[in-house]
Structure 1
Amino acid sequence: MNHLKLNQTQIQAVVDQLTSQPDGVNRLLEIAMNSLMKAERNAYLEAALKGNKANGYRSVSGYGVGDSLSLQIPRDRLGGFKPTLLKVMKDQADSLNELCFELYAKGLTTRDIESITETIYGQHLSKSQISRITSSLSEAMQAFRERPLAEYYPIIYLDATFVKTRRERVSSEAYYIALAVLPDMTREVIGIYNAPTESASVWNEICVDLKNRGLKQSDLFVIDNLTGLDSTLETHFKAPIQKCILHLKRSILNKTKKQHRPEMVSDLSDIFQLENRDDTKDALLKRAKAISIKWRRYYPHLKRLEDADWLSYYATYLSFEYDIRNMIYTTNWIERLNKAFKRTLKIRNSMPSVESVLTLLSKVAIDMNSSTYRHPVSRFQKSHLFK
């Protein structure tokens, strides 16, 4: 058979005519890629052992410009030929998978992702396909949650957030977060856990897991008034505990009559003199007792402020250097992380499974770990943490 030979000008004219059509660019890509793979097979067979020959084609779809490509992958009889373009196509598919997961992790629904991938790639991915893509990355997220830890972190924040999750039915379930501050003042999520409800037994399991993964020492745990957490921490670690002062104030004010709140705010600020560089725990406890005596006839529960053992958990920050007190008297740092979790999850009314929540929370945590979050104090000097 005689082959038609065209000069460069004629080839350019054919290309111009083809690409001027609505789907011309993708058709040209199909021709070029199919031709390259066929030429690569010819070269492979010429260099191969005798007895091997061409054995037809298999059809696959590729990603084009706003449309899918119909590609013909050449085959050989012995099954040894693998065109170079297959790796390019695999890399392209991997990139699409990563894009789908990133979009899902940023809060887009599977329907949103379907629309985006079809517009950009011309490839319609169904809801089930996208779900499989996101599920395929859950192993990497699990490996992140189970990774080994350093033996020492200067400060560890612990908190729980609640997410509507489907088991047999949809209900709010507790997801436990451990956020550590490293010696260089960066932050790192070191634990993400789930349990249907918050309880002391769950915190015990979390402490055991942190220890099994390598944690031995911390200089401080910062927590909210979470059920059974203080006693559990004291069982596993020899480190002081600071309970969140802002949560304590909020709890007291929520039980205070409206007309008393301005004065109560002032009195609570007098107890916790956060800007007083020379304040001491003994002085704080005396002020708290005076405020309790002032208000307890109206609010009997405030007699708790006279319990030195109980209130000491809220005064631990005074044992530390003044320069770091504003980062340890509250759980604000971990609550900012919880807000990032909520932003990712809020677009969904509920999550289909516990694993889907853990996967998304892990992705947010990995993104946060890759960013630099620092406190104005440039670096911890362990000997200077305490006064």
Structure 2
Amino acid sequence: MMRNLCILLLLLSTIVGAAAAANASAEEQIAVTGVTVNPPDALMRGDMGTVTVDIKNTGGETGVAISRAELYPNGIAVVNDKTYDSVGIIGPPGNTMSFTFTVRADTADGIYYPTFYLDLRESGSVRYSVPVTVESTEIRVSIVDAPETYPANSEDTIVLSVGNPRGNSVNGVTVTPTGEDVKSTQTAVFLGALAPDEEKNASFRILASQSTELTFDVSYRNGINEHHAILTVPIEIGQRTVEPDMVVNNIEMSQSGGAITLTGDVTNAGLKDAYSVKITVDDPATPTDPLPGLRRRRTGTGRLLELRGHVQRRGRVLHPTPRPVQRRERQNLQRDRDRLPLLRRAGAAGRHRQPDAVRDDQRPPQSGRGGAWACSDRSAAGFRRSR
């Protein structure tokens, strides 16, 4: 008896549940299962994007008739608002359907809520608000390394930093240099995608013939939308303060027979290394030993030099006088000038005795080209002789 009663109650509950499902309203059967905004996270002002809404039939034994689907703007412009004026029927439970709308962010930065509206043919409707963010922060372009001045027709390097401060990734980042009377070894540098808060560097070898401006155009995409960030860099042609600067000091002179030996220090006071450094004497002096070659002189380093030679002019023995050297004011190269004599007078302090064959009226002047010696170097900026 009890067993039959339990079976009866079970049958009654099943029948009631089926009847309730059959009587469920159409709007109760439709559920919004997903929303996708592209580009993700944020549109920039003026950007085009898409909003996709997914729905599903979650109940009932038959399909649900849908008259139309719309996306009400509510601050965001909808481009294809007539696309779903006629929809049709979504099938039995488990069937899905998607609606995609094209939107444009013709508005100020902020968060907007366009409303998805589904008009059901029998009765009722479905509404769902879609959050869309408009945020117009651009990527940042800055100079990491660039010289203050550029030697004419000489290559130099500019390094740029490109950073993405946005909350979403940007794609296709490309840096292109342009300008009059200036050339770049690279026509463009492709950096690719930049994740949020990511930074990448781009280096360019620049050669300019005169003072001008160099413009860097950084193009990138936010979704399907292309944007540009512009950076203008002034190019000033002038003397570089970082070029090698050969300084000669601590000069000592001694004589043995007809030859005179000069010894001293050669220091690179510049900010760039000097290459192929050689020491020689000017005409009419001739060296008796091979010319000293110091090869590479790193900035701030020095080396002892020794030079032997003799000078003949009209039968007279002349004493080479070092050229005056202009020292750069750099803290790590400052020295006490009292300890660095340049021997501006022959025979000073009794250290350099004049040869017996030289009379007072035969002594050469202590400046000018006669008997002078020079230091030369070949660097990235070209050949230069110290004066």
Give the TM-score category using the shorter length.
under 0.3
Would you tell me which structure has more strand in proportion to its own residues?
2
Structure 1-normalised TM-score?
Answer: 0.20
Q: Which has the higher helix share?
A: 1
Larger radius of gyration: 2
TM-score, length-normalised on structure 2? 0.20
Higher relative contact order (CA 8 A, sep 6+): 1
